[in-house]
A and B are shown apart, each in its own frame.
Chain A
Amino acid sequence: MSSKPVTPMRAAIGLFAGVTATAVLVALALSTDHASFAKGLAIGGGVAIVALAVLFWRGARGGAAARIASGNADEREQHIAREALADTGAAMFLSALVMTIATLWDVEAIAVGGIVLWTGVITFVTSVAVRSRRG
Chain B
Amino acid sequence: MLNDVRQLRETRGLSQAALGEALSVSRQTINSIETGKYDPSLPLAIAIARLFDTTIEEIFHVE
Binding site for B on A (CB under 8 A): 1-2, 64, 67, 74-77, 79, 132, 134-135
B43 nearest CB neighbor, chain A only: A1
The answer to whether B41 and A135 touch across the interface, beta carbons within 8 angstroms, is no
Interface residue? B23 (CB, 8 A) = yes
Main secondary structure of the interface of A (DSSP, over half): helix
The answer to whether B26 and A77 touch across the interface, beta carbons within 8 angstroms, is yes
Report the number of A-B residue pairs with Cβ-Cβ less than 8 Å.
Answer: 36
- Chain B residues with a Cβ closer than 8 Å to the other chain, count: 15
CB-CB < 8 A to A67: which residues of B? Answer: 26
The answer to whether B37 and A74 touch across the interface, beta carbons within 8 angstroms, is no
The answer to whether A1 and B26 touch across the interface, beta carbons within 8 angstroms, is no
The answer to whether B41 and A132 touch across the interface, beta carbons within 8 angstroms, is no
The answer to whether B28 and A134 touch across the interface, beta carbons within 8 angstroms, is no
Closest 8 CB pairs of A and B: A135-B37, A74-B25, A135-B32, A76-B29, A135-B38, A2-B24, A1-B44, A76-B38
| Residue with the greatest number of chain B CB neighbours at <10 A, chosen from A64, A75, A77, A134 | A75
| Residue with the greatest number of chain B CB neighbours at <10 A, chosen from A1, A64, A76, A79 | A76
CA–CA, A77 and B26, complex, Å: 9
CA–CA, A135 and B33, complex, Å: 8
Type the 1/0 row for B33-49, where 1 means its CB is closer than 8 Å to any CB of A: 00101101101100100
Which of A1, A75, A79, A132 is in CB contact (< 8 Å) with B28?
A132
CA–CA, A1 and B44, complex, Å: 7
The answer to whether A76 and B35 touch across the interface, beta carbons within 8 angstroms, is no
| Nearest chain A CB to B17 CB, angstrom units | 12
| Nearest chain B CB to A112 CB, angstrom units | 38
The answer to whether A2 and B25 touch across the interface, beta carbons within 8 angstroms, is yes
